[in-house]
């Protein structure tokens, strides 16, 4: 594809007297990856600014630079196509979409958003497609999969360039279904711009990311942009919302496409009745628009996974699948690594790790475990540094209110003093049933030393993560491996 074809079809305006046309090899946003025939798009990020690398790209022979900083209008740069746009994040999405052949228009794209449950719902939909022997691409917190091939990702939702590449590669492999987590950061940073979603699912909505959004109103409207982006026409596109969430009607007001709900209360379109939950399994009767379709049996833990399963099942029902074929597959659907993951051991200890790090998710897990048992709950938990400080006292209140013994520790302190984070958490405690062990490895060891077979140990906050971020270093650390290491020594 030549440069002028790309620019003209993307309606990128330029000075025709100054533009030199050539065959382009690709679009890049990383100066380390550029080749002379690439188009470099300078993106302003949270920690790096692509404009700072324009000169490096020019020195490497790059012939076209797209930027948004007016400063570069006045630099005497010869033999380089310098094109300024108002927002290079949007421009990147538009260029990548056209360059890769508008792949999201040719794929059945499902977006899952919400405060909690995104990873589980996307994984369940992906797993069911694979159990039906249908191809599916998965994009989310735990990485990406094109069919059965796994790929790493740094963000819950990758940048616009990577997304278009992934969908183009999926089509090349004959895969026409894709399900992805859509974070609020991705929406605000225009990573999902130009994606043509067929279905959007809302899991729930509660306080999170206020370090980034500052207010709940900004957080809400950022999420709402995804629903509004589905268009103004009532057609094949649809949204599926958690009808038991108090915010669902507000989201409903932001979309004009077909809308459906899931939940356990009577007014929902997709409903669970006769629910049974334990530490080892869940089951319920599935009703779709008041019609009984069968009993759902699953080895997953937790009341919250009923909602996650309902979201996935509701999606397949609305897509016209035979639910009699779907339900027998559910015992094969596995939980997500780091999401109420039981650490198997041969000494009979009930130990779980989970990614829960918001007040809502911590409350949900503790209250559900408390619902199932009167056994002593030992909890290891912390809060991330340089993140929403308002949730720290809330987590202190919830933890000390629902657990029997709480060990407060570090969880990616980043550039903050770990003790200051702990002090913020302690501001909310309502009982004196806690202690502080700053070293996370030591906190886990302390919890394991004090527990018996009559206890339940919950290690929350990191789940699948295999690192600790201290200052600007990403150090290897795994809650799961810390437990296994201890049990290997003491079993």
Q: Provide the strand spans (E) within 355-454.
A: 376-381, 405-408, 434-436
**Which residues make Cβ contacts (< 8 Å) with residue 285, sequence separation at least 6?**
272, 273, 274, 292, 294, 295, 296
Q: pTM for the whole thing?
A: 0.82
In the structure encoding, which two tokens stand for residue 44, read together?
């302003």
For residue 353, what are the β-bridge partners?
341, 459
Q: What is the pLDDT, as a whole number, of residue 47?
A: 79
Q: Yes or no: is domain 103-332 CATH 2.70.98.10?
A: no
Distances (CA, A) of 102 to 99, 156, 225: 8, 22, 21
Instruction: Tell me how far apart the alpha carbons of residues 431 and 429 are, in angstroms, rounded to a whole number.
Output: 6
Helix (H, G, I), strand (E, B) or coil at 192: coil
Tens of pLDDT, residue by residue, the chain (491 residues): 999 999 999 999 998 888 999 999 999 999 999 999 999 999 998 778 999 999 999 999 999 999 999 988 888 788 899 999 999 999 999 999 999 999 999 999 999 998 888 999 999 999 999 999 999 999 988 889 999 998 877 777 789 999 999 999 999 999 999 999 998 888 888 899 999 999 999 998 875 555 565 687 888 888 888 888 898 888 889 999 999 998 889 888 889 999 999 999 999 999 999 999 888 889 999 999 999 999 999 989 888 899 999 999 999 999 999 999 999 999 999 988 888 898 989 898 999 999 999 898 899 899 989 988 899 999 999 999 998 898 999 999 999 999 999 999 999 999 999 999 999 999 999 999 999 999 999 999 999 999 999 999 999 999 989 999 999 899 999 999 999 999 986 54
The gap from C-alpha 374 to its chain's centroid, in whole angstroms, comes to 33
Domains 3-99 and 341-490 share a fold: no
Q: What is the pLDDT, as a whole number, of residue 205?
A: 84
H or E element in which residue 146 lies: strand 143-146
Instruction: Tell me how far apart the alpha carbons of residues 50 and 40 are, in angstroms, rounded to a whole number.
Output: 9
Q: What is the pLDDT, as a whole number, of residue 213?
A: 55
Distances (CA, A) of 455 to 350, 373, 404, 442: 7, 10, 10, 19
What is the architecture of the domain spanning 3-99?
A: 3-Layer(aba) Sandwich (3.40)
Domains of the chain: which residue ranges?
A: 3-99, 103-332, 341-490
Distances (CA, A) of 3 to 20, 57, 95, 98, 108: 8, 17, 11, 12, 30
Q: pLDDT per residue over 7-59, tens digit each? A: 999 999 998 888 999 999 999 999 999 999 999 999 998 778 999 999 999 99
Distances (CA, A) of 444 to 370, 383, 448: 21, 15, 6
**Which residues make Cβ contacts (< 8 Å) with residue 266, sequence separation at least 6?**
none
**CATH code, 341-490:** 3.90.190.20
Q: What is the pLDDT, as a whole number, of residue 208?
A: 57
């Amino acid at each position: 594809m030549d440069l002028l074809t790309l620019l003209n079809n993307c309606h990128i305006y330029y000075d025709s007297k100054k533009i030199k046309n050539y065959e382009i090899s690709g679009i890049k946003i990383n100066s380390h990856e550029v080749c002379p025939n690439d188009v470099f798009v300078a993106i302003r990020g949270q920690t790096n600014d692509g404009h700072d690398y324009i000169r490096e790209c020019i020195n490497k022979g790059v012939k076209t630079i797209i930027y948004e900083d007016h400063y570069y209008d006045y630099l005497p740069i010869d033999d380089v196509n310098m094109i300024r746009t108002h927002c290079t994040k949007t421009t990147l999405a538009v260029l990548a979409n056209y360059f890769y052949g508008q792949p999201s228009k040719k794929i059945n794209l499902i977006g899952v958003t919400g405060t909690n449950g995104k990873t589980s719902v996307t994984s369940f939909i992906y797993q069911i497609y694979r159990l039906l022997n249908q191809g599916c691409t998965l994009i989310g917190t735990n990485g990406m999969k094109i069919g059965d091939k796994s790929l790493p990702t740094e963000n819950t939702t990758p940048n616009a360039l990577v997304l278009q590449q992934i969908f183009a590669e999926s089509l090349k492999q004959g895969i026409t279904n894709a399900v992805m987590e859509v974070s609020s950061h991705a929406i605000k940073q225009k990573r999902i711009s130009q994606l043509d979603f067929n279905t959007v699912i809302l899991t729930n909505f509660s306080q999170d990311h206020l370090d980034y959004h500052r207010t709940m109103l900004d957080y809400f409207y950022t999420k709402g942009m995804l629903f509004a982006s589905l268009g103004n026409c009532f057609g094949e596109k649809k949204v599926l919302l958690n009808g038991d969430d108090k915010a669902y009607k507000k989201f409903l007001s932001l979309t004009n496409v077909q809308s459906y709900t899931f939940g356990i209360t009577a007014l929902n379109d997709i409903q669970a009745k006769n629910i049974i939950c334990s530490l080892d399994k869940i089951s319920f009767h599935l009703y779709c628009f008041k019609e009984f379709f069968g009993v759902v049996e699953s080895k997953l833990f937790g009341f919250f996974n009923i909602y996650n399963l309902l979201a996935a099942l509701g999606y397949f029902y609305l897509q016209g699948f035979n639910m009699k074929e779907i339900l027998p597959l559910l015992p094969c659907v596995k939980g997500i690594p780091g999401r109420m993951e039981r650490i198997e051991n041969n000494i009979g200890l009930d130990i779980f790790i989970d990614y829960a790090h918001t007040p809502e998710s911590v409350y949900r897990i503790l209250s559900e475990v408390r619902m199932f048992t009167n056994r002593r709950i030992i909890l290891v938990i912390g809060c991330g540094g340089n993140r929403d400080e308002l949730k720290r006292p809330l987590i202190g209140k919830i933890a000390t209110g629902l657990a029997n013994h709480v060990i407060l520790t570090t969880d990616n302190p980043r550039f903050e003093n770990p003790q200051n984070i702990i002090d913020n958490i302690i501001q909310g405690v309502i009982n004196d049933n806690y202690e502080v062990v700053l070293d996370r490895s030591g906190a886990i060891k302390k919890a394991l030393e004090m527990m018996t077979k009559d206890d339940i140990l919950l290690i929350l906050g990191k789940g699948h993560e295999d690192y600790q971020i201290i200052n600007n270093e990403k150090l290897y650390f795994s809650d799961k491996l810390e437990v296994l290491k201890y049990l290997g020594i003491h079993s």
